[in-house]
Amino acid sequence: MHRTPLIAAALAVAVLVAGCTDKTATSSTASAAPSTAPATPAIDFSAWTKGTSEPVADALYPKHGNPALDVLHYDLKLSWAPSSKTLTGLATLQIRPTADASQINLDFKPYALDKVTVDDEPAADAKVTAEKLIVPVPVTKDKPVTLAVAYHGKPATSPFPTHRGDAEPLGLTITKEGGLWTMQEPWGAYTWYPANDQPSDKALYDVAVTVPDGWSGIAAGTPVGQQGNTFTYQSKEPMAAYLQTLAVGKYKKITAKGPHGIPLTYWYRPGTDDKLVPSLKKSPTFLTFLEKKFGPYPFPTGGIVVVDSESGMETQQMITIGGKLKKFDAAGFEEDLLHEYAHQWFGDAVTPTTWTDLWLNEGWADYTQFLWEQQVYKFDDKTLEDFLRKSDAELRKKLGPPGHPKAANFAESNVYVCPAAMLKELNDALGDAKFFALAKAWVQTQKGTQQDRKSFIAFVNKQTGKDFAKLINTWLDSASTPK
């Protein structure tokens, strides 16, 4: 997510293959599996091996997500009717249970259920209650099932647990023109499809969006094509639910090429977003800057969709950027784009396992943004150091250290600036050559995975041959700015 405007203004100067195989077929006969268990489906789950994760419960937001399920693949067929404000969906999920359970339980807002099946068998008792879809069909650890949910209804948003200046409700939002957009970090995917809405479960996606004549539907992933009024997107690289996006409106599309031919797509609304277009078209410049520092862009395509928001999100392969700006400043807007592009490496390719380590996303994206600003505004290293230390001191006092975010303060400035200051210390200690080699290796050898503080420290130490545990832990834990 983008840095809050306050700070920007101040500086205006393990893939588990075994998990996908059916190991229960022989053992379940001996242990007499419940007769209600679904029959083994005639589906080859190996196609979705890349969607395998090791989900965990989130310490900050334990009500969201289900660590007993690992969704491998979401196939979403969605249709939007602006006149009745009705979203109609068919979500087909390939799920690897990570534990035996008496039911399938996913995050889902209260849509009306039209039909629910598990391995093609109707699950008539399925219901949506307390923001959960509950399907009372028993599942067995590591024995994948296919859950299909047909539903319809009017989307509703969820409160955002934060005090950010640009805070808006989370999830699928209806515009006054009858269009749709969503921003959904730390959650909100569940406001438009049944989701394991927590970052430790990455999955593959196929999304098809059907819209009225003259409208467009946009989602994360690689654009596959358009057939009639249906727009299709595919994510062959695993993606956390908070990095999915959906926008529907009267959009115009621009296509372009990034460095070494990366296909790029910019979606904007003529008459509303025209002034932003020159900045969108600078995407190849941002990507070139980032590739030089962090290695190849980690996905096959990229792009930006402009929506009715004040914020911005690093949605995977298709950044969701707010066009509802109080005061348009091209340089500031471009910094936000650069920041969201940086997240494609830090956050999207390599994702924090839980929200406690949001600093791992925002620290890198923010530090990269400061390096970009340094190039644009030509301030020296001492100016950056002084600014970071001064901001760090104020933010630690106000919001606490970045390694211990509070549930009610999601993505506030301490998880941006303080870890950026830590990364500057690391950069200063290592020098540019070693620091950027470390950053590059972190992403390029671990893309597709989830990581946390412990694995980050272990990686830094292994890569550099030095022990930086104390430096990193002090910057993440200390109540005051480290010396």
Q: Which residues bind Zn ion (CB under 5 A)?
A: 1, 362, 365
Cα–Cα distance, 45 to 447 (Å, whole number): 22
**At a CB cut-off of 8 Å and minimum separation 6, what does 215 contact?**
82, 179, 229, 248, 249, 250, 251
Closer to Zn ion at the Cβ: 1 or 95?
1
Cα–Cα distance, 61 to 39 (Å, whole number): 34
Cα–Cα distances in Å, from 34 out to 97, 111, 419? Answer: 16, 30, 50
Taken in order 65, 67, 73, 75, is the CA torsion positive or negative? negative
Closer to Zn ion at the Cβ: 6 or 47?
6
Closer to Zn ion at the Cβ: 1 or 7?
1
Closer to Zn ion at the Cβ: 91 or 305?
305
Closest distance to Zn ion from the beta carbon of 234 (Å): 25
Closer to Zn ion at the Cβ: 1 or 147?
1
The SS3 assignment for 116 reads: strand
Q: Which two tokens stand for residue 208?
A: 């098809």
Closest distance to Zn ion from the beta carbon of 293 (Å): 16
**At a CB cut-off of 8 Å and minimum separation 6, what does 43 contact?**
94, 144, 146
Closest distance to Zn ion from the beta carbon of 102 (Å): 39
Q: What is the distance, to the nearest Å, from the Cα of residue 258 to the centroid of all Cα atoms in its chain? A: 22
Cα–Cα distance, 280 to 181 (Å, whole number): 18
The answer to whether residues 187 and 64 touch, using CB atoms and an 8 Å cutoff, is yes
Closer to Zn ion at the Cβ: 60 or 91?
60
Q: Which amino acid is at 313?
A: M
Closer to Zn ion at the Cβ: 249 or 303?
303
What value, to the nearest 5°, has the Cα angle with vertex 125 and ends 119 and 130?
A: 110
Peptide bond into 186 cis (omega under 30): yes
The residue number with the shortest CB distance to Zn ion is 365
Q: Which amino acid is at 169?
A: P
Closest distance to Zn ion from the beta carbon of 232 (Å): 28
Closest distance to Zn ion from the beta carbon of 185 (Å): 9
